[in-house]
Amino acid sequence: MVAAAASITPWQSRCLLQVLVVQRLLAARGVLGHFYLGVCRNPFQGMAVGDIAAHAWLQCGDLIVSGAAGHEQYTVISTYSWKLQANSK
């Protein structure tokens, strides 16, 4: 749903924005998870030596909910999890 919406927004809705939207949707429904930020040097053909690409993905248990494509190419530099609000189920 989020990826489909991201493909038609008039602005760039890349992986980090999509992960943040999915995180808010899951938290509102009382679902815990983690999102990851990763980096990779020269991951794509045509990138200059030393260029760095970044990627974000969100995981609930063993399931990658958003940003699965290519995530294994990136080295995790940071992880985030969230607490549920008192009014969550």
In three-state secondary structure terms, 46 is coil
pTM: 0.78
Please name every residue paired with 64 in a beta bridge, in sequence order, or none if there are none.
59
Instruction: List, for residues 19-48, the tens digit of each pLDDT value.
Output: 999 999 999 999 999 999 999 876 666 677
Please indicate, yes or no, if residue 14 is contained in any of the structural domains.
yes
Q: Is residue 41 part of a domain?
A: yes
Number of domains making up the chain = 1
- Residue 88 lies inside a defined structural domain of this protein: no
Containing structural domain, residue 43:
2-81
SS3 28: helix
More reliable by pLDDT, 62 or 9 = 62
Asked if the model's pLDDT at residue 89 lies above 70, the reply is no
2 contacts 24 by C-beta, under 8 angstroms: no
In a domain, 87, yes or no: no
